């Protein structure tokens, strides 16, 4: 067992610990602790920098042991540079690039130190001057050869999607290498969340990723409640769980429809597109907004579900359950659809473990990672949603995982709606405790959403770190593409359906 | 001679107009049928039942800005839409669509040009269509367009061979390359779809690939290649590619009807098979022909909204490793069978002859469709390395 086991100190999903209880190590020992823990089966949940003093940066690592449902944290103090963790521990790769960009700290020996979002440092210690930034300069990886050609896609795309730039090194139709450049959606979310007016924070959290409103709001509220020692009511927890699963349903249905559309399988694309609307309409009934904005507030749910509303949503979902089964069967049992999805965009199980991917991507290669199981919170502590896994790791497997999750979420949501606990839906949520660290994890539809909040001596937020599942998983898309045909890129992309805004923050 | 010139001129104008109007109408049909399949309404605002929608679209396309990419090859860029559209229309010229029309000056054959080499003409012009697509892809100076154009040339050439091979079987039975003789032979006994069922199967698959329709719409593949070879086109030049696609569908449907379903022949009666020609016969056979063509057009639309698209390597593998050997083997088997029945047993072509060949087709079809079934030939991409 690693030394990290002792350093956990009782940190759990949504259980705050005192900030001074987090060990402060030397840089070398910090690196050894993190990579040792990762070797021992822990996983980096978050790794970020926080300005400390005049010109120093405090690096904080939050790790998770998914088997025992425990979290652990450690920290160190660095100046302008420190030895990078990535060579020993590839999971740290995007985090260290982020630290270099946000805090102006150079991880020395980092093998792929490229700009992540291309923005000026926003967490720079006050005594340090920021470096000049050239947004256009990006050192692309290139493959040389007479027959190798380069295809650039984006940041402006043909469809109504977010901006992102994809650079393919291709040989004929075969993709040799894919490099993804993001950052076009950077809005300074973490800075906004660290502002003193916490009432507005939840609105910011809701707009981190437009399709994961409930997920991010849930994580934001979870961290806030942990720090405020607010005890949510059972009814509030149920309503939030229902909203989260409705969001998952809407997005999974939409994704399967989009996958069908990408192989030009029109029947499923049309039906699933409509069914996605049904789920959004249910969220509309629940919250007054098709994406669930305004429903989740620290302490519970902003407004209660009446019996009539519950019955209406129940009816709609019951109908959906009957309608969705034949459409999914039509799609998954059609031979030529299978032939288009099988073996495309494979992400291996070992890559998932090594790079720390999360969500349905990992469940599609038999890596059972699901926050609802590993670090359950709220309603998921009492009511289990069976986890869906596949083993092939290809587009088909990811689609099947979504199909199973649709079935299970439908069942869960209907069950919860029929057995809503009595009582108020919202509890008081007071000021935050001083000098504490809280980690809130949520299994959003894309995977693990993490909000880490550290408060200062006056109970104000000192650092609010957001990790969207896309932050981990964009690398999975880049790994999945080589060896596939360039024309399968939309299909692969859709099977991950990652968020640009969630990554860019 | 003057009579021939006059009637030909009139026929050219009438057929051209009919095809153009039909194509415009077909875009409306496609959208309505797809809406019907998906339980929606489809265009229904412009005119009664949305019938004037094609006119509105055409008008819009006429008034849209024409763009010309700065670094394009101007001549080819302008030529490409015409090149893809003209061959489709020219092929229609040799297809008889009704029995001759009696007039005061003599009988007028209901075909624009009854060429003695009609069949070869069809094959020649069908293969010209690929130039439009390749020119468009090449001259646009755009990577997506080029990929789409190259895919398309490879695809169309691959499937053209299978298509040509499958029609050889028709020639074996018809004994003549004139299209009117092919129809006459079918009127005498049965439609060729029975004795040549597998040839028809190969032909229809190849025809779908030739017309770039789903499941073979890879040159366009809007989700994969932006829009394929016509990425850089706008306004009327853009819609000319669409007109070409739909004209190709009409041509292919007319060919299927002619080669395998007796053309304008009305089944189960020989009333329409010979003189004296009357206007009633002309109208009835014209209606029959339109019905058959309409059915195949519907089939095209039906398939598009039902089946997914192939991946490029699957498409090429199917073309070269399945369709081509299949067509070659089939010709050999059919030629031997026809020789056996005709030269050895002394049968002449009649219903008995056709039924014997039909039986042979069924025997061949059973192992073929077993092999074509999922898991035997069409496989996921992990099998690409081995193939």
The gap between the terminal CA atoms of chain A, to the nearest Å, is 35
Which residue of chain B is at minimal alpha-carbon distance from A337?
B308
Q: What is the pLDDT of residue B380?
A: 46
User: Cβ–Cβ of A335/B374 closer than 8 Å?
Assistant: yes
User: Cβ–Cβ of B38/A270 closer than 8 Å?
Assistant: yes
Q: Which residues pair with A169 in a beta bridge?
A: A150, A177
pLDDT tens string B216-251: 777 665 555 566 788 888 888 888 888 888 888 998
Coil vs helix vs strand at A104 = coil
Whole-angstrom CA distances from A365 to A93, A115, A368, A390 are 22, 30, 8, 6
Q: Are A105 and A52 in contact (CB under 8 A)?
A: no
Average pLDDT over residues A454-482: 91
On the question of pLDDT at B274 being above 90, the answer is no
Which residue of chain B is at minimal alpha-carbon distance from A492?
B224
CA dihedral A161, A164, A170, A175 (to 10 degrees): -70
On the question of pLDDT at A431 being above 90, the answer is no
Looking only at the bridges linking them, the beta strands covering A448-455 and A436-443 are antiparallel
* B385 — pLDDT class (breaks 50, 70, 90): very low
* A4 — pLDDT class (breaks 50, 70, 90): low
What DSSP element (H or E) covers B13?
Answer: helix B2-37
A264, A274, A393: best mutation site toward chain B, by most B Cβ within 10 Å? A264
Indicate if the alpha-carbon torsion angle B365, B366, B371, B372 is positive or negative. Answer: positive
Whole-angstrom CA distances from A366 to A253, A350, A390, A474 are 22, 10, 5, 19
Which residue of chain B is at minimal alpha-carbon distance from A157?
B226
Looking only at the bridges linking them, the beta strands covering A461-467 and A448-455 are antiparallel
Give every CB contact of residue A132 below 8 A, 6+ residues apart in sequence. none
Q: Give the minimum alpha-carbon distance from A270 to chain B in angstroms, rounded to a whole number.
A: 7
In angstroms, the CA A186 to CA A203 distance is 17
pLDDT tens string A359-384: 999 999 988 889 999 999 888 988 88
Chain A residues whose CB is inside 8 A of the B36 CB are: none
On the question of pLDDT at A2 being above 80, the answer is no
Chain B residues whose CB is inside 8 A of the A396 CB are: 380
What CATH code is assigned to A189-504? 1.10.645.10
In angstroms, the CA B372 to CA B323 distance is 11
Coil vs helix vs strand at A185 = coil
In angstroms, the CA B179 to CA B159 distance is 22
Strand locations in A6-132, DSSP E?
A: 17-18, 24-25, 43-52, 56-65, 70-78, 81-83, 106-108
Chain B residues whose CB is inside 8 A of the A487 CB are: 218, 221, 224-225, 311-312
Q: Are B253 and B300 in contact (CB under 8 A)?
A: yes
A256, A336, A482, A489: best mutation site toward chain B, by most B Cβ within 10 Å? A336
Burial B98-126 (b: 16+ CB within 10 A, else e): bbbbbeeeeebbbbbebbeebbebbeebb
**Nearest alpha-carbon partner for A59 in A82, A78, A38, A34:** A78
In angstroms, the CA A499 to CA A218 distance is 17
Q: Give the minimum alpha-carbon distance from A345 to chain B in angstroms, rounded to a whole number.
A: 10
If one counts every other C-beta atom within 10 angstroms of the C-beta of residue B374, the result is 12
**Nearest alpha-carbon partner for A253 in A407, A387, A384, A396:** A407
In angstroms, the CA B210 to CA B202 distance is 12
Among B residues 264-323, those touching chain A with beta carbons less than 8 Å apart: 304-314
Closest CB to A265: pick one of B38, B221, B308. Answer: B308
On the question of pLDDT at B262 being above 70, the answer is yes
Closest CB to B223: pick one of A173, A344, A490. Answer: A490
Candidate from A3-17, A42-56, A105-119, A242-256 with smallest mean pLDDT? A3-17
Q: What is the pLDDT of residue B227?
A: 67
Residues of chain A with CATH 1.10.645.10: 189-504
In angstroms, the CA A384 to CA A366 distance is 19
What DSSP element (H or E) covers A469?
Answer: helix A469-480
On the question of pLDDT at B292 being above 90, the answer is yes
Average pLDDT over residues B293-297: 94
Chain A residues whose CB is inside 8 A of the B221 CB are: 264, 487
Q: What is the mean pLDDT of chain A?
A: 88
User: Cβ–Cβ of B305/A158 closer than 8 Å?
Assistant: no
User: Cβ–Cβ of B381/A342 closer than 8 Å?
Assistant: yes
pLDDT tens string B102-127: 888 888 888 888 888 888 888 888 88
Average pLDDT over residues A8-36: 86
User: Cβ–Cβ of A340/B215 closer than 8 Å?
Assistant: no
* DSSP annotation of A137: -
If one counts every other C-beta atom within 10 angstroms of the C-beta of residue A465, the result is 27
Q: What is the pLDDT of residue B204?
A: 92
Which residue of chain B is at minimal alpha-carbon distance from A150?
B143
In angstroms, the CA A410 to CA A46 distance is 31
Q: Give the minimum alpha-carbon distance from A486 to chain B in angstroms, rounded to a whole number.
A: 8
* B161 — pLDDT class (breaks 50, 70, 90): confident
Closest CB to A339: pick one of B37, B40, B379. Answer: B379
Among B residues 224-243, those touching chain A with beta carbons less than 8 Å apart: 224-227
Q: Give the minimum alpha-carbon distance from B225 to chain A in angstroms, rounded to a whole number.
A: 7
Candidate from A395-409, A441-455, B65-79, B247-261 with smallest mean pLDDT? B65-79
What CATH code is assigned to A3-116? 3.30.460.80
In angstroms, the CA A12 to CA A4 distance is 14
On the question of pLDDT at B299 being above 90, the answer is yes
On the question of pLDDT at B381 being above 50, the answer is no
Q: Are B370 and B300 in contact (CB under 8 A)?
A: no
Q: Give the minimum alpha-carbon distance from A242 to chain B in angstroms, rounded to a whole number.
A: 30
* B378 — pLDDT class (breaks 50, 70, 90): very low
Which residue of chain B is at minimal alpha-carbon distance from A262?
B223
Chain A residues whose CB is inside 8 A of the B322 CB are: none
Residue the block writes with tokens 């425990």: A70
* B290 — pLDDT class (breaks 50, 70, 90): very high
pLDDT tens string A301-331: 888 888 898 999 999 999 999 999 999 988 8
The gap between the terminal CA atoms of chain B, to the nearest Å, is 59
Closest CB to A264: pick one of B308, B313, B314. Answer: B308
Give every CB contact of residue B44 below 8 A, 6+ residues apart in sequence. B50
């Amino acid at each position: 067992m690693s030394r990290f086991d002792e350093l956990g100190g009782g940190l759990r999903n949504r259980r705050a610990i005192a900030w001074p209880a987090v060990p402060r190590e030397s840089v070398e020992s910090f690196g050894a602790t993190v990579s040792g823990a990762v070797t021992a089966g822990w996983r980096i949940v978050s790794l970020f920098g926080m300005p400390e003093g005049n010109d120093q940066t405090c690096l904080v690592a939050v790790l998770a042991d998914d088997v025992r449902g425990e979290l652990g944290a450690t920290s160190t103090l660095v100046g302008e540079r420190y030895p990078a963790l990535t060579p020993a521990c590839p999971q740290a790769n995007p985090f260290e690039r982020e630290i270099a960009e946000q805090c102006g700290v150079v991880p020395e020996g980092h093998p792929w130190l490229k700009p992540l979002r291309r923005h000026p440092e926003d967490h720079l210690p006050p005594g340090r001057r920021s470096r000049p930034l050239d947004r256009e300069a990006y050192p692309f990886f290139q493959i040389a050869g007479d027959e190798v050609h380069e295809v650039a896609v984006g940041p402006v795309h043909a469809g109504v999607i977010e901006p992102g730039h994809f650079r393919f090194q291709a040989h004929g139709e075969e993709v040799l290498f894919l490099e993804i450049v993001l950052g076009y959606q950077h809005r300074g979310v973490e800075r906004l969340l660290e502002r003193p007016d916490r009432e507005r924070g939840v609105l910011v959290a809701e707009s981190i990723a437009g399709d994961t409103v409930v997920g991010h709001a849930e994580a934001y509220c979870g961290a806030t409640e942990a720090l405020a020692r607010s005890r949510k009511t059972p009814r509030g927890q149920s309503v939030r769980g229902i909203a989260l699963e409705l969001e998952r349903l809407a997005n999974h249905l939409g994704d399967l429809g989009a996958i069908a559309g990408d192989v030009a399988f029109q029947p499923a694309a049309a039906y699933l597109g409509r069914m996605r609307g049904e789920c959004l309409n249910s969220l509309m009934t629940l919250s007054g907004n098709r994406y669930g904005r305004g429903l989740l507030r620290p302490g519970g749910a902003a407004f209660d579900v009446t019996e009539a509303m519950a019955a209406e949503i129940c009816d709609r979902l019951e109908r959906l359950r009957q309608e969705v089964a034949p459409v999914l069967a039509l799609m998954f049992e059609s031979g030529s659809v299978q032939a288009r999805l099988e073996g495309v965009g494979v992400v291996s199980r070992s890559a998932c473990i090594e790079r720390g991917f999360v969500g349905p991507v990992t469940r599609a290669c038999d890596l059972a990672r699901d926050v609802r199981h590993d670090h359950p919170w709220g309603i998921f502590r009492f009511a289990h949603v069976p986890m869906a896994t596949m083993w092939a790791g290809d587009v088909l497997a990811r689609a099947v995982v979504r199909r199973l999750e649709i079935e299970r979420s439908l069942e869960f949501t209907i069950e919860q709606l029929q057995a809503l606990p009595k009582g108020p839906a919202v509890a008081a949520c007071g000021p935050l405790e001083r000098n504490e660290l809280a980690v809130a994890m949520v299994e959003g539809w894309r995977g693990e959403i993490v909000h880490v909040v550290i408060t200062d001596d006056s109970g104000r937020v000192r650092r609010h770190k957001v990790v969207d599942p896309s932050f981990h998983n964009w690398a999975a898309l880049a790994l999945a593409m080589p060896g596939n045909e360039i024309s399968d890129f939309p299909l692969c992309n859709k099977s991950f359906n990652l968020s640009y805004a969630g990554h860019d923050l | 001679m003057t009579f021939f010139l006059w009637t030909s001129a009139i026929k050219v104008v009438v057929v051209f107009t009919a095809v153009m109007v039909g194509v415009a109408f077909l875009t409306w049909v496609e959208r309505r049928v797809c809406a019907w399949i998906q339980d929606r309404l489809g265009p229904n605002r412009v005119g009664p039942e949305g019938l004037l929608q094609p006119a509105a679209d055409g008008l819009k396309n006429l008034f849209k800005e024409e763009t010309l990419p700065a670094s394009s090859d101007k001549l080819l860029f302008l030529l490409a839409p015409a090149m893809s559209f003209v061959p489709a229309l020219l092929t229609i010229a040799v297809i008889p669509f009704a029995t001759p029309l009696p007039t005061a000056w003599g009988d007028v054959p209901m075909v624009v040009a009854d060429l003695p080499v009609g069949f070869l003409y069809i094959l020649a012009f069908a293969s010209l269509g690929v130039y439009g697509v390749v020119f468009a892809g090449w001259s646009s100076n755009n990577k997506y367009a080029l990929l789409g154009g190259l895919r398309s040339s490879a695809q169309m050439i691959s499937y053209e061979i299978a298509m040509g091979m499958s029609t050889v079987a028709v020639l074996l039975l018809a004994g003549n390359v004139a299209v009117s003789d092919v129809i006459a032979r079918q009127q005498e006994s049965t439609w060729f779809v029975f004795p040549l069922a597998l040839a028809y199967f190969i032909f229809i698959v190849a025809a779908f690939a030739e017309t770039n329709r789903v499941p073979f719409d890879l040159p366009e593949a809007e989700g994969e290649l932006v829009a394929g070879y016509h990425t850089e086109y706008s306004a009327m030049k853009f819609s000319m590619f669409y007109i070409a696609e739909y004209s190709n569908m009409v041509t292919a449907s007319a060919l299927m009807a002619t080669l395998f379903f007796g053309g304008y022949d009305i089944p189960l009666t020989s009333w329409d098979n010979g003189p004296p020609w009357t206007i009633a016969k002309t109208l009835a056979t014209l209606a029959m022909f339109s019905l058959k063509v309409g059915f195949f057009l519907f089939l095209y639309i039906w398939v598009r909204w039902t089946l997914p698209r192939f991946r490029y390597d699957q498409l090429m593998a199917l073309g070269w490793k399945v369709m081509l050997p299949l067509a070659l083997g089939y010709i050999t088997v059919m030629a031997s069978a026809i020789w056996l029945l005709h030269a050895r047993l002394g049968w002449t072509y009649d219903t008995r002859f056709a039924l014997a060949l039909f039986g042979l087709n069924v025997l061949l079809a059973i192992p073929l469709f077993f092999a074509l079934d999922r898991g035997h030939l069409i496989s996921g991409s992990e099998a690409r390395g081995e193939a």
